[in-house]
Amino acid sequence: MSGIQVPYTDFAKAHDPLRGELDAAWRRVMDREWFIGGEEDRAFEREFAAFCGVKHCVGVGNGLDALRLILLAMGIGAGDEVLVPANTFIASALAVSYVGARPVLVDPDRETALITPEEAAKHITERTKAIMAVQLYGRVADMESFAALAEKHGLALIEDAAQAHGAERNGKRAGAFGAAAGFSFYPGKNLGALGDAGAVATDDAELARRVRALSNYGSETKYHHEMQGVNSRLDELQAAFLRVKLPHLAAWTAERRRIAAVYRENIRNEKIRLLSEDAGCVHHIFPVFTRERDRLRDELEAAGIHCLIHYPIPVHLQKAYAGLGYRKGDFPAAEELAETELSIPLYPGMTEEQIGYVADALNRF
Ligand SMILES: *Cc1c(COP(=O)(O)O)cnc(C)c1O
């Protein structure tokens, strides 16, 4: 036994060097005694909008709410359908259900794990109102073709960019491709708060205004309610922490890309499949695929390498969605990915020794 341990992720590597700044951030908020919707929120919204290359950003409570508020603001609801990948975190589909619309699932491409416009087009009906492209694992879908498809059918194009802060495609960043994008700053995301947080990014001023009002009880003027909103706001403390971390995101992303490149270069095992390469990917997750996934996970665990599965059950086979009437076999690629995927450690601050150790363990399998 080598004694090397590789955790799935390690927050301390990112936070320890910033401890002084993070402490100063919470002191600043405490001293100001303004906890929601203040200077930190507005400043973070400006900074994150600039980072994404969009005109507007609205801080909200979490990533699920960001997506839900976009749909609400677009007036999507009962009787409407929204196309969503069958292989995504449940939140993408839940956002659609929460507004009363129906998530219509789309099987992904097994080489990218992303949905394609060709496959999505097969599911468009007269009830379809929007396409939600999920930038899964930190990789941007074919947004130019999705935009053309959306335009042709008069649909809204929405990004679930919860895993894709800073991901690029043809010179544009995640968040800037559709009518609006939902981001999550859950602690484990590439840009994580120290608690729950999320944001909506958009170029559409009116949509941003509606999202902001809806996130604050449907109100722009205190106690005047223009619409039936929810309470989902970004708090000052999280905004202040996010402002400390955002300037480091580019360096963290560069590090993630470097580690991914080392994995790509060194993992050589015919039993293990990787996704096709994508230079714009920000590697929120580094997935490997094998028919003997559970055995691989056990073997890596025994070697001190901690892995996760994203995601073990596709949306159509979740109990929560039994009501949609899908069955096993309906989305073969999503099912294959769920049965064969294993996410190996990849995080800023991993040592060369750890990276090499993981690659060697995969090659020995
Ligand atoms: C994390 C995540 C969400 C939800 O974000 P929360 O902040 O946890 O609500 C939505 N979609 C995807 C793809 C995610 O990974």
Residue 61's SS3 state is: coil
C-alpha 110/C-alpha 113 separation (Å) is: 5
Q: Is the CB of 137 under 6 A from ligand 1?
A: no
Identify the residue whose C-alpha is closest to ligand 1 atom 14: 162
C-alpha 175/C-alpha 181 separation (Å) is: 5
Q: State how beta strands 224-225 and 180-184 pair.
A: unpaired
**Mutate-to-test residue for ligand 1 from 88, 134, 184, highest number of ligand atoms within 8 A of CB:** 184
Tell how far the Cα of 49 is from the centroid of ligand 1, in angstroms.
19
The single-letter DSSP state of residue 104 is E
Atom number, ligand 1, closest to the C-alpha of residue 135: 13
Identify the residue whose C-alpha is closest to ligand 1 atom 10: 91
Residue 323's SS3 state is: helix
Q: Give residue 3's pLDDT.
A: 85
Look up the pTM and report it.
0.97
**Mutate-to-test residue for ligand 1 from 163, 215, 311, highest number of ligand atoms within 8 A of CB:** 163
User: By the 8 A CB rule, do 229 and 216 touch?
Assistant: yes
| CA distances from residue 54 to 202, 245, 308, 325, 333 in whole angstroms, order as listed | 6, 19, 33, 38, 33
Structure tokens at 36: 């929601």
Q: Give residue 1's pLDDT.
A: 54
Q: How many residues are recorded in the chain?
A: 365
C-alpha 63/C-alpha 74 separation (Å) is: 17
Per-residue confidence of the chain (365 residues) as pLDDT tens digits? 568 999 999 999 999 999 999 999 999 999 999 999 999 999 999 999 999 999 999 999 999 999 999 999 999 999 999 999 999 999 999 999 999 999 999 999 999 999 999 999 999 999 999 999 999 999 999 999 999 999 999 999 999 999 999 999 999 999 999 999 999 999 999 999 999 999 999 999 999 999 999 999 999 999 999 999 999 999 999 999 999 999 999 999 999 999 999 999 999 999 999 999 999 999 999 999 999 999 999 999 999 999 999 999 999 999 999 999 999 999 999 999 999 999 999 999 999 999 999 999 999 99
Q: Is the CB of 311 under 6 A from ligand 1?
A: no
Q: Is the CB of 62 under 6 A from ligand 1?
A: yes
Q: Give residue 11's pLDDT.
A: 96
Atom number, ligand 1, closest to the C-alpha of residue 198: 7
Q: Is the CB of 162 under 6 A from ligand 1?
A: yes
Atom number, ligand 1, closest to the C-alpha of residue 196: 7
